[in-house]
Chains A and B, each alone.
Chain A
C-alpha cells in the first residue's frame, strides 16, 4: 500500500510540473508570436522597411490608386486626417504624402498610430520608409502637427490589386501625459 502512495505522489509531482510548464508556455507564446511575426514579415506595421533592391534604377511601372483614411475610436482626444485622400501612383515610385493630427483636448496626450491596409494582401507590398506611426507622438493641449509619410509600392504587387487603401487608427498610449 505504501509503494502505491509513493507512486501516486511521484505521478502527482510530474503532473503538477506539466501544469507549471504549460502555464509558462502561455507566457512564452508572447515572445514567440512577436518573433514569428517579425521573421515572417507578417506584423512589421510600425517599423521602417528597407527599400526593395534595384528600385532606384528601374522605372515605375503600373498605375495604382492609393486611398488614404484615418480613424479615431470614440472618446479619444484626436482628430486625424490625410491632407490628400486619394492619389494616383505607380508601383516602384517613391511617394510622399501628409497626415494632419490635432489634439482636441485640454491636456497633454500621447498617441500611437497603427496602419491598416485594404486589401490585407497589399500590406506586404507597401514599404514605409518614413511614418509618424514608427514612434509614439506627444501632443500639447490643442497642438496641431503635420507628418510626412514616405512610402513605395513594391513592383511585385499582384496584378489583381489596382487600388490600395491605407488607413491609420490612432490609439491612446496608457499612462498618457508623459513625453515618449
Chain B
C-alpha cells in the first residue's frame, strides 16, 4: 500500500501521519492518488473475474456454468465495475498524483473534498457487489440500464441506482477539484497554452464529467421514481416512453466514452515525446482537437439509437456528426506519429504501451466509423461487432494508456524502477492475447452473433473458443503486472531523478521519489509547449 512512501531525500517529509489514519484522513494528493490507483486495480481484477466468468460460459454453446439471469448480471456488473470502478477512478488517481507535480501546485485545490471523493468509492462499489446476494440478484439490464427492463428488475437494481448516485457524486467532486487546481493553482509561468497535454486532457475530461454525470444521476433517479413512486417516465401505458430513457442515458453515455478516452490521449502525448526525444508535434492543434472532441461528444448521442425508429434526417445528422469526430481524433493520431517521425526512439515499457495504444485505438476508431454509418449500424447494432469495437477503444485504449502511465511515472512515485523485462513481457503478452480475445469478435458480430447472451448458435463456436482462450491468457498476463509492481516496490533498483532521458516536464525536476510535500511555495517557471520546463527558480526545494 506504500506507493507514496519516500526515503526522505532531504525533503520536507515531516508532518506525514502514520498508520491507518494516514489513509483514512488522507488529504495529501499523493496518498489519495495512490489509494485511487490501488482501488482501481482491485476493481479491475474484480471486473476481470466477471469477464472471465462470461468467457467461460461462452466457451461452448449451450448453458454450462450460469443460468441466463445470472449471466446477464455478470455482463451488467462487468461493464459497470470496469467503467465506474476501474477506468474512471484510475484516471482520477493519476490526475491526483501527477497534476500538482506537472503544473507546480502544492496540492489539489480542495484537499478535504479530495478525501471524500475517494472514500465514497468503496461504499458505492460495496453496494454494487452486494446486489449479487439480494433476492433477484444484481442488475441485469446491461450497463446502460435500459428501461423498461431496469424498471422491472428486483431490488438489486435499487442498490445499483444508489451506487451510481454515490459514484456520480464522487466523480463530480474529483472533477471539480481537477478544474479548480488547473485553473487557479498553476505555478507562475505555467501558461495554459504551455500546460502538459495530460493536464489539458484532464481539464476537458473534468468539464465533461461535471456536465454529464448529473444527467446520468437524473436518468437513474427517473428509473427509481418509476420503480417506486408511481411515475411513468418510461412506461408507455402511463403516457411515458422507454425511448426517452435511451435519449437521457446516451446524452450522458457518449461524453462518458470520451471521459474514458481523453485522459488516455493526454498520457500518450506525454509518453511519446519522452521516448521519441522530440517535442510533441502540433501541440496547439492537439489542444484544439481535444477540446473539439469534447464539444462534439455532446452532439452525437443518438448514434447509439439508430434502430429506435428515428426519422432519416435525424439519422443523417447523427451519422455525419459522428463521422466528424474522426477528424480531430485523426489529427491526434497523425500528431503522435509525426512526433515519432525521425525521433531518436527507445522502446521501454511505457513507450511500448503507448505505441500499442495508437495502433489498437486506431483499429477501434475505424470500427467506430464503420458503426457510425446508420445503414450499416442497423445490421451491426447489438452484435459482437460492437463488443469488439468498444473493447478496442477501452482496453487497448484506456487500459493500455493506464499501464503506460503507471510504468512511466512509477519511478517518480516510488523511487524505484520496475523490472523492465517483466514490463516488456507484460506488454507483448497483453498485446497478443488482447487481439486473440477481441479480434474474432468482429467476425462474430458480422456473422450475426448478438451481445449479452449466454448461449449461441453452433456456427459461432470456433471464434468464441478462440476469444475465451485469449481472455483467460490476457487475464493471467495481468498478474505479471501485479507481481512486477509488488516486487519493485520493495526490491526494485533505486531510480535516479531522471529515469527517462527525454523527460522534461515539471514532475521530473524534483527529487525521486517525489517528496511528500512538493512545490510549497510554488516555483517560478519558464515553460514551453506541452509542459516542457526551461528554467525553475525559488522552488522551495532548496
Contacts and interface: CB of A to CB of B under 8 A. Distances in A.
B237 A172 contact: yes
Nearest to A176: B237
B153 interface: no
Given A4-B185, A174-B232, A174-B238, 17 more contacts: A8-B110, A8-B180, A12-B109, A16-B176, A19-B176, A19-B213, A22-B210, A22-B215, A23-B215, A25-B215, A26-B215, A26-B248, A30-B244, A42-B311, A112-B238, A136-B237, A174-B230
Contacts of A16: 176
B248 A15 contact: no
A110 to B, nearest CB: 8
A16 B110 CA distance: 14
B457 interface: no
B241 A11 contact: no
Contacts of A29: 215, 218, 244, 247-248, 251
Nearest to A29: B248
Contact of B214 (A22, A114, A175): A22
A11 B210 CA distance: 13
A12 B110 contact: yes
Contacts of A175: 230
Nearest to A112: B237
A7 interface: yes
A111 interface: yes
A7 B215 contact: no
Interface string B242-255: 00100110010000
Nearest to B215: A26
B218 A27 contact: yes
Nearest to A37: B241
Most chain B CB within 10 A, of A12, A15, A29, is at A15
Interface string B210-222: 1111111111001
A120 interface: yes
Contacts of A174: 230, 232, 235, 237-238
A171 B311 contact: no
Number of chain A interface residues as a range = 35 or more
Interface of A: 4, 7-8, 11-12, 15-16, 18-20, 22-23, 25-27, 29-30, 33, 37, 40, 42-43, 46, 111-112, 114, 120, 123, 136, 169, 171-175
B179 interface: yes
Interface string B128-159: 00000000000000000000000000000000
B342 interface: no
11 contacts: A8-B110, A11-B179, A18-B210, A22-B210, A25-B214, A29-B247, A112-B237, A114-B237, A173-B238, A174-B235, A174-B238
B217 A23 contact: yes
B176 to A, nearest CB: 5
B184 interface: yes
A40 B216 CA distance: 26
A122 B215 CA distance: 33
B214 A19 contact: yes
A26 B244 contact: no
B180 A12 contact: yes
B309 interface: yes
Number of chain B interface residues as a range = 35 or more
B119 interface: no
A29 B241 CA distance: 12
A117 to B, nearest CB: 9
A87 B294 CA distance: 52
Interface in B221-239: 222, 230, 232-233, 235-239
B184 A8 contact: yes
Contacts of A19: 172, 176, 210, 213-214
Contacts of B222: 26-27, 30
B14 interface: no
A173 B176 contact: no
B176 A23 contact: no
Most chain A CB within 10 A, of B180, B213, B237, is at B237
Contacts of A12: 109-110, 176, 180
Contacts of A7: 184
B183 interface: yes
Given A8-B180, A26-B215, A26-B217, A43 B241 contact: yes
Contact of A8 (B109, B218, B233): B109
A158 to B, nearest CB: 12
A90 to B, nearest CB: 26
B155 to A, nearest CB: 18
A173 B214 contact: no
A18 B211 contact: yes
Closest 5 CB pairs of A and B: A26-B218, A171-B237, A23-B214, A112-B237, A22-B214
Given A30-B244, A114-B236, A174-B230, A23 B180 contact: no
A15 B210 contact: yes
A47 to B, nearest CB: 11
Given A18-B211, A29-B244, A33-B247, A173 B217 contact: no
A106 B495 CA distance: 78
Given A12-B180, A40-B311, A22 B236 contact: no
B214 A26 contact: yes
A30 B233 contact: yes
Contacts of A37: 241
A26 B233 contact: no
A6 B16 CA distance: 27
